[in-house]
Chain A
Amino acid sequence: MADRMRVVGKSLARVDAPGKVSGTAIYAADFALPGMLCGKVLRSTLPHARITRLDVTRAAALPGVRAVITAADVPDVRYGGGLKDETAFAKDKVRYMGQPVAAVAAATPEAAEAALAAIDVVYEPLPAVLDLEAALAPGAPLIHEAWESYTAIPILHREGNVCNRARIVAGDVERGFEEADRVFEHRFRTGMVHQGYTEPRAAVASWDSSGQVTVWSNTQLPFEVQNTLAEILQMPPSKIRVVVPGVGGGFGGKLRVGVEHFAAFLARKSGRPVRVATTSEEELTAAYPRQGSIVELKTGVTKDGRITAKAGRIWLDTGAFAGSGPGVASVATLVLAGPYKIPNLYLEGFAVYTNKTNCGSFRAPSGPQANFAVESQMDIIADALDLDPLEFRLRNIVREGDEGPTGQVLNGVGLEECLLKATAAIGWKDRRPGPGRGKGLACGWWTTTGGSSGVYVKINPDGTVALNTGAAEIGTAAITGAAQVLAEELGIDLTDISVVAADTFSTPFDFGAQGSRTAFAVGNACLAAAADLKRQIFALAAGQLGVEPDALTLADKHVAADGKRLSLADVARLSQQTGGGLIAHGTFIAPPTPYDTKRVEGHVYPAFHSPSFHAHAVDLSVDPQTGEVTIHKYVVAQDVGFAINPTYIEGQIEGGVAQGLGQTLSEEIIYEGGRVLNPNLTDYKMPTTLDVPRVESILVQHPSLVGPHGAKGVGEPPNIEPPAAVANAVAAATGVRITSLPITAEKIALGLVDARAGGA
């Protein structure tokens, strides 16, 4: 089929590339208005404390300072997604070091800094809850004393410092353990990590005389930000316009309101446009990073390597507010099940409050944490059973038509092919090619998030096309992919399409650039719009050409039948003269994925829609003295359903692996006593060109039943398996099993010392 395609399936250059390479593309952090002020935020200097005094009089009187605001100046509301526990500013007490206490707007950054320094705030320290164990201990201080009074969706199971417990129960796990020949129990731990988007979070807000505020933001979810701002500002959403000029990376870190509300409040108070942008320090102390976690797994297997039962629990350190925690805890249980056929399951995910920054969503939320545990344990078990890790997986993986953990029926399952191709490419038969060298394997599954998308597609009088989408382009080229789908249908070139920036005022609704859904959902909305446009085009052209509409075809920018043809431009002009122009509203909503409701509890994400499957294999060496890891080769075989644009899918895989390797080997936001020890990019070590190997991407294509041309979500998955693949390769190379992330050289070196001592 792809052979007959002109645009989809081709590695064409992205539609926004010229502006990006020339430096003319404007991002939210570049956006400026005349008279704009600089806004800055005063943040808590203690992890848990009562505010006993907060006086801004001196700050407000400083030269150049135009506005100072605190909790006293804003509506007294708690907001949030499924659980409303957050406030714009700390009120009465602070719950993490970095929590906003006040904000200022001034003519220059220097004046704003001076104003922050002049705010008089006095704290009375409270006992802080600094990690998961402390938060869960009997008698632990409550981070939210009034948690029971908070508004929450009823599905959540909350208790004290636990802001959700999600559960999957299938079969009878105790009976499953009885049927097992051996039962394995392990515990894993992972660190908190930051998305590391290059562009800091930034927003510019400006109010007009009608009382409408416009916010230019680099959010991934303009419509959610619009609604959240409506809640925070206590205004109707129609009075709030969110525009996304350009986004310098998001990876889930720009889903929620971050600085937009401060810009809006400060702009209202000062009567001037205000920009608020974060610093690197604010990013690493007060953003929405990936939750650190503890995972416990108990798995029963028969002698011949069939898994009979699995009990698993993951505790996610969600910080001082729930943020994405309750949802991520739910998703985690599906990852804990793994892409395996296991008849008996008892899986729980807990989102737990601590006195740390509010964690959020980071590319495949919970994926790397839970998969690290699952796939590490798969190798441990395979070793214990004296089975090849590939063979052990092949005996247990899901295949076409199998049931997922909550009873969903799985279609388009390309996992076996992924495992076989990844291992073939890495040279799996020779798993330990030399001293200190080893190969590791990990596999997994992930979702293509649902939600609805709408597009307006307009045909210009020159035959080119304007694509209006409310989905933000965050860098993935997903909008380019959707535009390729549109171009194919309309018989035009990709370069004929221009894309309008997401704007809640004028572009149709979109559920947002999250969950690997954008190309999938916007692509499908484009198909719907194209079908409508073709009807309009054929009706007009049929009259003009004197043929039946059914006889017409649309190709090569012309509509034709019986040897007669009319250009798309002619039809568009004709429509402008007679019918208001060619425009269509295409929409898409992913159909629900049926599952067994009796198997889940407290669960906000009970099934993976159009699931993707993937296998990673790595060949690496470990320095016997320093423990330093050198990666020789990294292979990803990913079932993408259908590759709309192979180049940018490879880009997702290469980038996702690099980001995954950072979380695996070097990255961690390190807390001590409630304070982040490494709030800068020198000490928070993201991979550079010297750290990242070349990645071989193998695109496996088992079509989704729903996606455009069978495509599945591709953006998040490559970030899931690197920790487990590397941990398994390190174990193969050295015999040292590291059960916590990051797998630093220090941990490996200490493991080697222990191994030598144990062996002596």
Chain B
Amino acid sequence: MRVRVRVNGEWREADPWEGTSLLSMLRDELGLPGSKNACEQGECGSCSVWLDGELVCSCLVLAAQADDRDVRTVEGLAGDGGLHPVQEAFLEAGAVQCGFCTPGLIVAVTDLLAQDPSPSEAMVREALSGNLCRCTGYQKILDAVRLAAERMAPR
């Protein structure tokens, strides 16, 4: 089955089996392991990507559903060697431990801040409730969101 998909701005082609998820296609066929394969049940958010600008768990999307559409992954966030402000904030706030949930969280936080540049902590908690992190207890992730929001605010 041929799938043609625009990933991080570049048109790519793959030939996955019909039952392949978007996550597996990104990881195994397109060389993008940043989106993590953790629960494969849509429970943990580690595989979060954008599909036509909408935040999705890529483990729950078939590769075929992405045909002729736009996908953006964590690998598409940093530009020219520099980190995205959300990535910088995670690094500086100490929001990264094992890091396996981090790419999914960074995608989810970037999506949240695009919709609401200065969310309340309650809104942040609601927005990130689909991303499981077992290391941090979330506190420094909440700090990172606040830091990123401050940095990204229009002056």
Contacts and interface: CB of A to CB of B under 8 A. Distances in A.
Contact of A20 (B39, B99, B140): B99
Contacts of B78: 22
Contacts of A507: none
13 contacts: A22-B34, A29-B36, A30-B36, A196-B132, A198-B134, A248-B38, A650-B139, A655-B134, A688-B128, A689-B124, A689-B125, A690-B125, A694-B139
A220 B125 CA distance: 31
Contacts of B131: 688-689
A110 B128 contact: no
Interface stretch (B50-58, B62-70, B83-91): B83-91
A655 B97 contact: yes
A475 B27 contact: no
Interface of A is mostly: loop
B90 A249 contact: no
Contacts of B106: 21, 23
Contacts of A14: 94, 96
Contacts of B73: 23
Interface of B: 17, 19, 27-28, 32-41, 43-44, 46, 73-75, 77-78, 83, 87-88, 90-92, 94, 96-103, 106, 124-126, 128-142
A248 B129 contact: no
Nearest to A661: B137
B137 A692 contact: yes
A200 B38 contact: yes
A246 B101 CA distance: 13
B135 to A, nearest CB: 5
Interface stretch (A388-396, A566-574, A678-686, A739-747): A678-686
Nearest to A200: B38
Nearest to B38: A198
A198 B40 contact: no
B103 A247 contact: no
Interface in A237-268: 246-251
Contact of B44 (A11, A24, A250, A681): A681
Among A16, A32, A476, A689, which residue has the most Cβ atoms of chain B within 10 A?
A689
A27 interface: yes
A475 B129 contact: no
A498 interface: no
Contact of A659 (B35, B39, B124, B134): B134
Interface residues of A, number: 59
Contacts of B92: 13
A293 to B, nearest CB: 22
Which of B38, B87, B98, B133 lies at the interface centre, i.e. has the most chain A CB atoms within 10 A of its CB?
A: B98
Contacts of B135: 198, 249, 475, 651, 655
A68 to B, nearest CB: 21
Given A280-B41, A647-B94, A651-B140, 8 more contacts: A18-B83, A21-B87, A30-B36, A280-B43, A474-B98, A476-B97, A655-B135, A688-B130
B132 A654 contact: no
B124 A110 contact: no
A6 to B, nearest CB: 19
A277 B140 CA distance: 30
A26 interface: yes
Nearest to A681: B43
Given A23-B75, A280-B41, A688-B129, A249 B17 contact: no
A430 B38 CA distance: 44
